[in-house]
């Protein structure tokens, strides 16, 4: 009895040993070298595996960054939108590269065709999928560019950042958005766009993608962009272009002056996270106290008035006429300069 046990132990132990030796040599022979940096980079990534970078998962992205750093010496075009600048810097540090800080982005819904703005003319019954409905018809409100409201964008979001508002029938993006771009791809109507989050989350955008002429666009939706061109004219920074009856604000040029928002006849241009405007009647023609003006941006019209005034008064001052105003000029001037610098 004892004998059998001993034989079994020796036999199995011997087999195991032989197998271990063979495996050791085979493993050495077929060893694949893997850069340890790949693991390091992968650890630094958010592990969301969302595909926002264009690679199938974080591991593939890590491999791509290490390869690019080795071969090209830069990481251009490789960007982890979820991790943002923080992760970007970390990855750069691991790979010994300097990474330029990028402006954080956020998904923006460019349609305001809610149930009240674009009342339903027909009712959709069928599979709750935007891409399916998109193949069938224009939309409940009649606008064939509008949001279909069936939530394909919500389904693909890995970050719980986009939800349907049952009151308006439109999706709403919250602060959890990492700009991975999954919803942008999922939307069959190309309504969602990744735009800069902007300073203090302030954003201005045209909330419409209707490329129809003004009259038919307005017929289906009261807040449609009708391509009137008022915003294009009023913009001093060439930020707004109109192509096929639709305005688009280029966020690289936009200075968030909000002039376009004011002139838009259909309220198609949206401003987000701005302080509420002061009523028009209270527009300060007379210069406001310094403390106030540093917070609230003064409308540009007022600025020019102030400027021309101050120039005149300075000139006048040199000549020596009307010394009465000088006092106000002195308090005003530093504010102007500050504004200009900004």
Partner 1 sequence: MGILRTFALGGIHPAEDKLSSNAPIETIPVPKQAIVPLGQNLGAPSKPIVKKGDMVKVGQLLAEAGGFISTPIHSPVSGKVFKIDNAIDGSGYKRPAIIINVDGDEWDDTIDTSEKIESEIKLNSKEIVDRIKSCGIVGMGGATFPTYVKLMPPPGKTAEYLLINGVECEPYLTADHRLMLEKGQEIVIGVRILMNALNVKKAFIGIENNKPDAINHITELVKSYDGIEVQPLKVQYPQGGEKQLIKASVNREVPSGKLPIEVGCVVQNVGTAFAVYEAVQKNKPLFERVVTVTGKAVKKPSNFLARIGTPISQLIEAAEGLPEDTGKIIGGGPMMGKAITSLDIPIVKGSSGLLLMKKEESTRAAENSCIRCSKCTYVCPMGLEPYLLSRAAKLGNFEMAENESIMDCIECGSCQYACPATIPLLDYLRLGKMKVGSIMRNRK
How far, in Å, CA of 48 to CA of 53, rounded? 11
102 binds partner 1 (CB under 8 A): no
User: What is the nearest approach in angstroms of partner 1 to the Cβ of residue 218?
Assistant: 15
User: What is the nearest approach in angstroms of partner 1 to the Cβ of residue 63?
Assistant: 23
How far, in Å, CA of 311 to CA of 288, rounded? 18
User: What is the nearest approach in angstroms of partner 1 to the Cβ of residue 100?
Assistant: 33
Please identify which residue in 122, 172, 301, 315 interacts with partner 1, judged by CB under 8 A.
122
126 binds partner 1 (CB under 8 A): yes
Which residues, including other chains, have CB under 8 Å from residue 171's CB and lie 6 or more apart? 109, 147, 149, 151, 153, 154, 162, 163, 164, 165, 183, 192
210 vs 266 by CB, closer to partner 1: 210
Helix, strand, coil percentages in the chain from 3-state DSSP, rounded to 5: 40, 10, 50
Q: Which two tokens stand for residue 252?
A: 């690289």
222 binds partner 1 (CB under 8 A): no
130 vs 335 by CB, closer to partner 1: 130
129 binds partner 1 (CB under 8 A): yes
Please identify which residue in 42, 63, 193, 212 interacts with partner 1, judged by CB under 8 A.
212
Question: DSSP H helical segments within 141-273, as ranges?
Answer: 152-156, 182-186, 214-220, 230-234, 259-263
18 vs 127 by CB, closer to partner 1: 127
Q: List the one residue out of 116, 117, 146, 121 whose CA is nearest residue 134.
A: 146
How far, in Å, CA of 110 to CA of 90, rounded? 33
Residues numbered 277 to 306 that lie near partner 1 (CB under 8 A) are none
Please identify which residue in 35, 68, 132, 300 interacts with partner 1, judged by CB under 8 A.
132
136 binds partner 1 (CB under 8 A): yes
Residues that bind partner 1 (CB under 8 A): 121-122, 125-127, 129, 131-132, 135-138, 142, 144, 212, 216
């Amino acid at each position: 009895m004892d004998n059998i046990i001993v034989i079994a132990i020796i036999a199995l132990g011997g087999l195991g040993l032989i197998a271990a030796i063979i495996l050791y040599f085979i493993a050495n022979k077929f060893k694949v070298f893997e850069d340890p940096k790949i693991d390091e980079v992968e650890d630094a990534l958010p592990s969301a595996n969302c595909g926002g970078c264009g690679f199938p998962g974080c591991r593939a992205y890590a491999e791509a960054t290490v390869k690019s750093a080795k071969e090209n010496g830069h990481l251009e075009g490789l960007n982890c939108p979820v991790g943002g600048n923080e992760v970007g810097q970390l990855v750069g540090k691991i790979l010994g590269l300097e990474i330029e800080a990028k402006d954080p982005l956020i998904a923006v819904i460019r349609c305001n065709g809610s149930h009240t703005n674009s009342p339903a003319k027909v009712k959709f019954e069928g599979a709750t999928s935007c891409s399916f409905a998109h193949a069938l018809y224009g939309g409940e409100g009649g606008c064939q560019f509008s949001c279909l409201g069936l939530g394909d964008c919500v389904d693909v979001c890995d970050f719980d950042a986009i939800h349907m508002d049952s009151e308006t029938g439109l999706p709403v993006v919250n602060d959890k958005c990492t700009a991975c771009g999954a919803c942008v791809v999922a939307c069959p109507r190309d309504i969602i766009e990744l735009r800069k989050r902007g300073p203090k989350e302030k954003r201005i955008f045209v909330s419409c993608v209707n490329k129809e002429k003004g009259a038919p666009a307005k017929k289906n939706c009261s807040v449609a962009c009708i391509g009137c061109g008022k915003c294009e004219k009023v913009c001093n920074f060439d930020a707004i272009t109109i192509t096929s009856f639709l305005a688009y604000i280029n966020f690289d040029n936009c200075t968030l002056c909000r002039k376009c928002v004011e002139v838009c006849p259909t309220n198609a241009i949206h401003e987000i996270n701005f302080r509420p405007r002061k009523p028009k009647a209270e527009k300060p023609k007379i210069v406001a106290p310094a403390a106030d003006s540093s917070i609230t941006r003064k409308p540009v019209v007022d600025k020019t008035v102030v400027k021309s005034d101050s120039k005149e008064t300075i000139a006048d001052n040199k000549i020596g006429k009307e010394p009465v105003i000088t006092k106000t000029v002195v308090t005003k001037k530093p504010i102007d300069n500050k504004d200009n610098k900004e």
